[in-house]
């Protein structure tokens, strides 16, 4: 077994620009990446398929975990709540696309997976710059999450710890696009749109943040070609 | 609406002695309890049915959430790993019945549910005395979990916080049994055994801790009658 294959990591992969770039970043750093993909009742189920494509393209294992959140409480889950179109991004407050405790849940499965396969690292593409106002994308949350893992896992009690890595947390969307291009991320396979259509809607927050990033980076988004 | 019905709580309910007592404790304190029950691939599926019975008996809503942990990594999930029989309880180390990050996962769903229904309290029957060596039952873990929630939820960013309550954390099993009797917990409906049989095996850690508690409390366990 080579040294590389021992450096295992769990990567949270949604199939979007940020998580796909995070996966390619982790691979470039020599990690043996195990991708965790969630089917959590999101309207944009297409991202699950695209995430599997991205994992395969990166030569990594992808595990899809199905979970249900019967209480919904988000425009991404509830057909009664529409995904906002052309929302003023400077609007204060957390948008209706916020899914209660989503990253808390995703990271908890990542911790379980990491412990089971003896991985010491979890990668998440959380981004605090263009984060749409989500509280669970901020560095203070990630720090608190890691401190919690240091108390609640068998691994931690045994004196080892699982580290949560967020390589994109302080990058602008434009810088993420540039990094993705440098890392040869298959951007045409990534999916960011919150709506469950066959093509990106172009008017949800996620489409617009992505478009802004590509425009600022002066790079054409091949997913739209 | 009375003041009582506004004091909402999410209660993690496995259907065992500890979580059922915790539910009855919360109800006795005037909480409008919403029980969260997990079907997580455990061999002892009977606890899911028993938990639903206990929730109904307490007059509370019970929601069953189905999750999968494809990586298993525990005697409670994996048919290839046997649940230990008559294990020396003083054995150091964490037993094979430990499920990687189980309480971390359960609490993350509780946080999501609590946020969605605007509950400010989560109850968990974690117990640090007879905890079989599980790291995610210790007070230091619960404190760290709450500190993490204070950073990662919309509720927290809005200046409100969700509190994690552990009324049993410092009680011995015997004291829990006595409390259960005082609170009129339907003990005959509770299920503690780790094995998936129709009757408790009597030899797994959970059966033995329960038996020890009843014996020390000098109370007959009606579940066995």
- Is residue B139 within 8 angstroms of chain A, CB to CB? no
Token pair in block for residue A43: 């309207």
Q: What local confidence, expressed as pLDDT, does residue A225 receive?
A: 63
Distance, in Å, from the CA atom of A173 to the CA atom of A95, rounded to the nearest integer, reads: 19
Closest Cα in chain B to A134? B154
Nearest Cα residue to A15 out of A194, A211, A190, A181 = A190
| pLDDT level of residue B176 (50, 70, 90 thresholds) | very high
Reported ipTM: 0.92
CA distance A168 to A171: 5
Cβ-defined contact of B101 to A66 (cutoff 8 Å): no
Is residue B219 scored above 80 in pLDDT?
yes
Distance in angstroms (rounded) separating the CA atoms of residues B161 and B201? 41
Question: Percent of chain B scored above 70 by pLDDT?
Answer: 93
Q: What is the pLDDT of residues B130-170, one digit of tens each?
A: 656 688 889 999 999 999 999 999 888 787 889 999 999 99
pLDDT for B31-90, tens place per residue?
Answer: 999 999 999 988 888 999 999 999 999 999 999 999 989 888 888 888 888 888 887 776
Chain A CB contacts of B108 under 8 Å are 101, 104-105, 107-108
Per-residue pLDDT of chain A (225 residues; tens, 9 = 90+): 444 447 999 999 999 999 999 999 999 999 999 999 999 988 888 999 999 999 999 999 999 999 989 888 888 888 888 888 888 776 667 888 888 899 999 999 999 999 999 999 999 999 987 656 688 889 999 999 999 999 999 888 787 889 999 999 999 999 999 999 999 999 999 999 998 788 899 999 889 999 999 999 999 998 876
Q: State residue B173's pLDDT score.
A: 93
Q: Is the pLDDT of residue B220 over 70?
A: yes
The whole-number pLDDT of residue B1 equals 45
- State whether residue A89 sits within 8 Å of chain B by CB: no
Task: Return the pLDDT at A146.
Answer: 95
Strand (E) or helix (H) holding A106: helix A102-117
**pLDDT at site B212:** 92
Residue ranges per structural domain of chain B: 3-224
Nearest CA in chain A to B70: A65
Q: Are B153 and A68 inside 8 Å of each other by CB?
A: no
Return mean pLDDT, chain B: 90
Is residue A68 less than 8 Å (CB to CB) from chain B?
yes
**Per-residue pLDDT band at B223 (split at 50, 70, 90):** confident
Range B201-225 average pLDDT: 90
* Among A97, A149, A151, the residue to mutate for chain B (most B Cβ within 10 A): A151
Task: Name the 3-class secondary structure at A84.
Answer: coil
CATH architecture for segment(s) B3-224: 3-Layer(aba) Sandwich (3.40)
CB A131 within 8 A of CB A103: no
CB spacing of B72 vs A116 below 8 angstroms = yes
B-chain residue closest to A95, CA distance = B154
pLDDT at B131: 59
Name the A residues in 172-211 with CB < 8 Å from any B CB: none
What's the pTM value of the predicted model, to 2 decimals?
Answer: 0.93
Alpha helix positions (H), chain B: 3-6, 17-28, 46-57, 102-117, 139-152, 154-157, 173-182, 205-217
Spell B109-134 as b/e; 16+ CB within 10 A means b. bbbbbbbbbebbbbbbbbbbebebbb
Distance from CA of A177 to the nearest CA of B (A): 26
**B205/chain A closest Cα distance in angstroms:** 18
Q: Which chain A residues have a beta carbon less than 8 Å from that of B94?
A: 154, 157
Any A CB within 8 A of B132 CB: no
CB A36 within 8 A of CB A113: yes
What is the chain A residue with the closest CA to B147? Answer: A144
Weakest mean pLDDT among A54-63, B11-20, B161-170, B201-210: B201-210
Q: Which of B103, B151, B154 sits opposite A152 (nearest CB)?
A: B103
- For an interface test with A, give the residue of B8, B97, B109 to mutate (most A CBs within 10 A): B109
With CB atoms and an 8 Å threshold, state whether A154 touches B98. Answer: yes
**How crowded is residue A28: how many other Cβ atoms within 10 Å of its Cβ?**
13
pLDDT exceeds cutoff 50 at B5: no
């Amino acid at each position: 077994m080579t040294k590389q294959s021992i450096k295992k990591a769990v990567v949270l992969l949604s199939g979007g620009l940020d998580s796909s770039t995070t996966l390619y970043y982790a691979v470039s750093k020599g990690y043996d990446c195990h991708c965790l993909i969630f089917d959590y009742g999101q309207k944009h189920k297409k991202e699950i398929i695209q995430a599997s494509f991205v994992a395969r393209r990166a030569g990594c294992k992808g595990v899809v975990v199905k979970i249900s959140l019967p209480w919904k409480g988000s425009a991404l889950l509830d057909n009664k709540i529409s995904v906002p179109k052309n929302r003023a991004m400077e609007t204060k407050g957390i948008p209706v696309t916020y899914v209660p405790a989503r990253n808390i849940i995703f990271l908890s499965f990542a911790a379980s997976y990491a412990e089971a396969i003896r991985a010491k690292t979890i990668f998440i593409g959380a981004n605090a710059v263009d984060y749409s106002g989500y509280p669970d994308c901020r560095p203070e949350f990630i720090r608190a999450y890691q401190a919690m893992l240091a108390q609640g896992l068998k691994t931690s009690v045994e004196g080892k710890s699982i580290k949560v890595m967020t390589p994109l947390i302080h990058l602008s969307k434009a810088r993420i696009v540039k990094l993705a291009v440098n890392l040869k991320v298959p951007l045409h396979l990534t999916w960011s749109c919150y709506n469950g259509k066959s093509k990106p809607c172009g008017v949800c927050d996620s489409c617009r943040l992505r478009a802004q990033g590509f425009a600022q980076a002066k790079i054409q988004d091949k997913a739209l070609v």
